[in-house]
Structure 1
C-alpha cells in the first residue's frame, strides 16, 4: 500500500481527493492536515504527501509544509497538488524538496500515475511544467533565476527594497541588482512594468 498524506486547507476538497484516491486498491490516505502544523504533528508513516501551495492567508504556506514534512520524514516523497503553476511557485517547490508538481485540473489518471511514480522513487517533471523547467536549463540566460523570481515575487507583494533586503538577508544593492536583471529579461523599464509582465506571462502570481 502507498500511504498518503493530504495537506490542503479546504476540508471539502480534501474529502473529494481522499474519495478519489481510495478508489485505487494500492492507495491509503492515512492522514489529512489543514495546516503546516497539523502536517508536522502527524505520527503516521507517510510514503507520499500531496501538498497544496496556498494554505490561506497569514499562515505558513505549502512551501513551508514541504520543508516541515521532509525535516522529520526525509524518505517521504512530496508532490505539489495546487491550483497555481507560476514559475516562481514551481521553482520554490522543487527547491524545497518536492519531486513533482501537478495542477488541480489534472486528470485522475495523471494524479494516480504521479503518486505511483513518486512512491517508486521517480520524479514527475513532464508535460507543460516539465517543458518550462527544461527551458530554464536550456536557456538560462533568458529566464529569471530562482533568486530573481523570489525578489520579484516579494516585490509584487509590496515590499520596498529595504524590506526585501531584510527578508532575504542581503544588501539593498544586491536586491537592486536582482531587480535590474529581471527588468532586462522581461524588457521592462521599472518595477511595476516588470511585475505586470511577469504576472501576464504566469511567471509570478499576485
Structure 2
C-alpha cells in the first residue's frame, strides 16, 4: 500500500515465500525486490543470493531482526540495503528509490560497525584454519580477499574506494578529491569492474576485508 501510493513506483508482484520470490523476480524483472529474512520453503538470504545471481534486480532486506549476522549475510548474498520493519514510511520509499537508482542503502554508523565486527570475526576464524590460506581469487560478493587484490587499482581509484567505505556520496567524494561527479562515477565504475563487485555495498565490504580501512570506523591505514 505504501509503495503503490507513490506515483513513480509500481508493485508488480507479491509472494508468500522465498521460492516464489525467486520465480517472480525472474518473471517480472523488477528494479527492486523487498525481501523478508524469515520465509517458508526458502529463507530470504538464500532467495536474495539467487535473485542477485539470476536477475539484475536489486534487493532490499526487510525484517524484524536486527542481529548483525542477518545484516551481514544479507549483504554478502547481494542485498543493496537492509531495513527493519518498523522503518518509517518515508524512509521505506526513500530506500526503494535509492536502491533502484543503483546506489547502496548505507547507514555508516551501523554498516561500518557491522562490517568491522564481522570481518574481525572471520579473520580470527581464518587464522586457525589453514585450509583458507590460499583463497585469494576475485569474488563478486565482497568475499574476504588479501590486500594485494587492490594493487590493480590506480591511486585515485583506491582513494575513491576509501571514501566510499567512509559512507560518502558521489558529491561528497567529488568535493573531497576536487574532481567532478562525472569523474567520481567513472572511478566508482572502475573500482566495481576491476574488483568484480556487484555494487557500492560490496565495495565497502571489500575495503574492510582487504584492510584498506582499519577496525575503527572511518579511519584508514
Match of 1:69 in 2: 51
TM-score, normalising length from structure 2?
A: 0.52
Deviations along 1:13-49, one digit per CA (max 9) or x if unpaired, are: xxxxxx1111100110101111122122221121000
2:94 and 2:32 map into 1 onto residues whose CA distance is 12
Does 1:28 find its partner at 2:10?
A: yes
- Do residues 37 (structure 1) and 15 (structure 2) align? no
Q: CA RMSD, aligned part only?
A: 2.7
Map 1:124-203 to 2 at 5 A: 124-126=105-107, 130-136=108-114, 144-145=121-122, 174=129
Query: Is there any run of 5+ residues in structure 1 with no aligned partner, and where?
Result: 1-18, 149-172, 175-206
CA contact 1:21–1:28 (8 Å) conserved in 2? yes
CA distance 1:147–1:45, change in 2 (3 Å): farther
Q: Equivalent of 2:64, from 79, 83, 87? A: 83
Q: Does structure 1 retain, via aligned residues, the 8 Å contact 2:18–2:42? A: yes
Q: Does the Cα contact within 8 Å between 1:52 and 1:62 map onto a contact in 2?
A: yes
Q: How many residues get paired?
A: 127
| TM-score, length basis structure 1 | 0.55
- Counterpart of 1:53? 37
- Alpha-carbon distance in structure 1 between the residues aligned to 2:37 and 2:7: 27
**Rounded Cα–Cα distance in structure 2 between residues aligned with 1:146 and 1:27:** 41
| Richer in strand (by share) | 1
